[in-house]
Amino acid sequence: MVNVTSSLSSLSFQEKLVLYVFLFQVLCLLLLAINGTVLKKLLNRYRHLLSGDRPQNLEELLLTLGERINKIETELKAVEERVAKMEEESINYIQRWALHRYQAFANTGGDQSFSFVLLDKKGDGVLVSSIFGREESRTYAKSIQGGKANYPLSDEEHEVLVKAIQKK
């Protein structure tokens, strides 16, 4: 190392300048070679992407995907409209119900009597009660509007109506 330092110090300013310029040029050529290699790889990837081994190039693929997206958006809009219509119609479907069996008379066995209620989302529907006795059975139907009966309710009917209304 002493020889290099002493030989550098013996050179004139112009010789040192030429040496430094030469080393700088070698460094630039090395960087240029590295950049060329990286650029060549990028160009190959770009050409492969545009032409590719697929039956269609990137531009055709993007156009096809754009058309498919437009078609899917149209279909999605139609599905959303159908779902909205179904939701609107579903208000009138039976959504809540309850059943209560009980013994209406002390002299009958088992819980043969019952009250059964069917309600839509608005609380409209019907309450059916069947009273079972040894000699006869009777069945009653009462309309329900907004969760309230249009006729007086027995305790059992009131209980089954409250159960149905509380269901979500």
Contacts 24+ apart (CB under 8 A), 96-99: 96/120, 96/121, 96/125, 96/164, 96/165, 96/167, 96/168, 97/164, 97/167, 98/160, 98/161, 98/163, 98/164, 98/167, 99/160
pLDDT in tens, 36-79: 999 999 998 888 777 756 556 777 778 889 999 999 999 999 99
Q: How many CB atoms lie within 10 A of CB 161?
A: 24
* Whether the Cβ atoms of residue 156 and residue 102 lie closer than 8 Å to each other: yes
3-state secondary structure of 37: helix
83 band by pLDDT with thresholds 50, 70 and 90: very high
Is it the case that residue 1 has pLDDT exceeding 60? no
Angle at 123 between CA 117 and CA 127, to 5 degrees: 20
Beta pairing partners, 132: 137
Domain spans in the chain, listed from the N-terminal domain onward: 12-53, 61-88, 94-166
Q: Which residues pair with 99 in a beta bridge?
A: 116
Q: Are 99 and 116 in contact (CB under 8 A)?
A: yes
